[in-house]
A and B are shown apart, each in its own frame.
Chain A
Amino acid sequence: MNKNGSIIPVVVLTVICLVVSGILGYVNSIADPIIQEAARVAAEEARAAVLPAADGFTQVTDLSGLPDDPALKDVNVEEVYTADNGAGTVTILTGAGYGGEVKIIVGIDADGKIVGTQVLDHSETAGLGARIAKDDHPFRTQFPGMDEAAADGATVISGSSVSSNCFKRMVKRAFQVSELVAGKEA
């Protein structure tokens, strides 16, 4: 049989593709549930970290009526959750930082005060803008307990004003979201 003809090579390639795909399908069926579960748990943990008083969360999808704020045009609200026991709102937002997109999660309680913040993703410069991601940095530790007015006046990190202001804009947007959600629930 001429191994270098046209049919045999294609057949061999096809068989190898099918076998490999089959093996992958099997491995995927084992791995996928674990991956999905881990993602679910991680998201829940992030929410609980910024709003520990909540017992459970429900996602809010209706954000109609959110004011159009030209100063916050780079901020996108990704996901909003409200605590089942009325403890407050958790918002995930993205905004334009210095090196790229910054993603944060903010927990605001029913009194309109920040409970916690976390930086989920960023590409800021290491040692400069990346300091906003340090949970123990004075920039971040000033936020819990602040209401909207106080947060507007929060001190930025010198040398990283773009990153810090991006964070502040997202926090402001989170306040707007939390007010909207509180208004709808009332």
Chain B
Amino acid sequence: MGKLKTLTAGIIRENPVLVLVLGTCPTLAVSTSVKNAIGMGIAATFVLIGSNLVISLLKNVIPDKVRIPCYIVVIAGFVTVVQLLLNAFVPSLYAALGIFLPLIVVNCIILGRAEAFANKNGVLDSALDGIGMGLGFTLALCIMATIREIIGYGAFFEKELIPEDFRISILGLAPGGFFVYGCIIAALNKISHGRAVKRKSFDCESCPSFAACGGQKGECAK
């Protein structure tokens, strides 16, 4: 079933964070607690579904020349809506996400999916893709957050579990984020015998700005 495949692609096989290595910034920053990870995941998923839907609806109306600016405006619009609603109704999450909330606008995942999927596919497919990618993002974020919160802060969902002396607090700090992320991808490599992370090579096609520069500027990643 094409629809089911579209939906589930983003969760495991083409997980944006663990396989496509996109959206790394919020992954590292917001994975210090599972609560924040879920919050961020929901916010990003909302923006992803919304922008995928709108861009898919407008794909025949938006001229090619102003494609990227239009996508950006739509995505920024959804992000601002999320910002305002969170600030008003869930201020604790708003404060916890901090600067990474407005940064959802430049989250490679969202612009990337708009460019790679929504402007070529129908509304329902785009929505499903948005849901799948959003779930994948949230899942990856939660896996990282679980590891970092339990070992780094000795807590889960802010309930203290491990006494202070047995925590490895560096996992909750900046270096820990990098390290846990690397280890998870390494584990994924091991489990899938190298098939999973397609040796993400940062070449032209996988770069989210492929749309903008058209691949002629192949210099940048050589």
A75 to chain B, nearest CB (A): 25
- The interface size bin for chain A is 20 to 34
Complex CA distance for A27 and B136, rounded to whole angstroms: 29
Stretch from B6-14, B62-70, B107-115, B127-135 contacting the other chain: B62-70
Report B-chain residues with C-beta under 8 Å of the C-beta of A17.
73
How many A-B contacts are there with CB distance less than 8 Å?
60
* Interface size class, chain B: 20 to 34
User: In the complex, which residues of chain B have a beta carbon less than 8 angstroms from the beta carbon of A38?
Assistant: 88, 91
With A4-B63, A10-B66 as given contacts, are A16 and B84 in contact (CB-CB < 8 Å)? no
Q: Which chain B residues lie closer than 8 Å to A4 at the CB level?
A: 63-65
B80 within 8 A of A: yes
At the interface, is chain B mostly helix, strand, loop or mixed?
helix
> Of A12, A20, A28, A127, which is within 8 A of B63 by CB?
A12
Q: How far is the CA of A20 from the CA of B73 in the complex (A)?
A: 8
Determine if B201 is an interface residue (Cβ-Cβ < 8 Å): no
Interface residue A34 (Cβ < 8 Å from any Cβ of B)? yes
Is A126 an interface position by the 8 A CB rule? yes
Query: Does the CB pair A31–B87 fall under 8 Å?
Result: yes
Known: A4-B64, A127-B169. A13 touches B69 (CB 8 A): yes
Q: Are A12 and B61 in contact (CB under 8 A)?
A: yes
Given A4-B63, A127-B169, A35 contacting B70 (CB threshold 8 A): no
With A126-B173, A127-B169 as contacts: A28 and B84 at CB distance below 8 Å: yes
Please tell me if the beta carbons of B64 and A27 are within 8 angstroms of each other in the complex. Answer: no
The proximity string for B residues 80-98 relative to A, scoring 1 for CB distances below 8 Å and 0 otherwise, is 1100110111010000000
B-contact bits for A14-46, CB 8 A (1 contact / 0 none): 001100100110011011101100100000000
Q: What residues on A are CB-neighbors of B76 within 8 Å?
A: 20
Q: Answer whether residue A184 sits at the interface, using C-beta atoms and an 8 A cutoff.
A: no
With A3-B63, A28-B84, A34-B89 as given contacts, are A20 and B169 in contact (CB-CB < 8 Å)? no
Interface: A53 (CB within 8 A): no
Residues in A whose Cβ lies below 8 Å from that of B173:
126
Q: Name the contact of B74 in the complex, choosing from A16, A27, A34 (C-beta under 8 A).
A: A16
A17 to B62, CA, bound (A): 12
Please tell me if the beta carbons of A27 and B84 are within 8 angstroms of each other in the complex: yes
Known contacts being A27-B81, A127-B169, is A16 close to B64, with CB within 8 Å? no
Q: How many Å lie between the Cα of A4 and that of B73 in the bound state? A: 19
Q: Does chain A have a CB within 8 A of B172?
A: yes
Q: Establish whether residues B81 and A13, one from each chain, have CB atoms under 8 Å apart when the complex forms.
A: no
Q: What residues of A have a CB within 8 angstroms of the CB of B88 in the complex?
A: 30-32, 34-35, 38
Whether A9 is near chain B, meaning CB under 8 Å from some CB there, is yes
**Contact between chains at A12 and B70 (CB < 8 Å):** yes
A119-147 Cβ-contact flags toward B at 8 Å (1 or 0) = 00000001100000000000000000000
Cβ of A66 within 8 Å of any chain B Cβ, yes or no, is no
The yes or no answer to B23 lying at the interface (CB within 8 A) is no
> A52: shortest Cβ distance to chain B, in Å?
24
Tell which of A3, A20, A23 touches B64, judged by Cβ atoms closer than 8 Å.
A3
User: Given that A3-B64, A4-B64 are contacting pairs, would A31 and B85 also be in contact in the complex, using a CB cutoff of 8 Å?
Assistant: yes
- Once the chains bind, are A126 and B169 in contact (CB under 8 Å)? yes
- Indicate if A8 sits at the interface (CB-CB under 8 A): yes
- Confirm or deny: B122 has a beta carbon within 8 angstroms of a beta carbon on chain A: no
Give 3 closest A-B pairs by Cβ, nearest first: A20-B77, A31-B88, A34-B88
13 A-B contacts (beta carbon < 8 Å): A4-B64, A4-B65, A16-B58, A20-B76, A20-B77, A23-B77, A28-B84, A31-B84, A31-B88, A34-B88, A35-B91, A126-B173, A127-B164
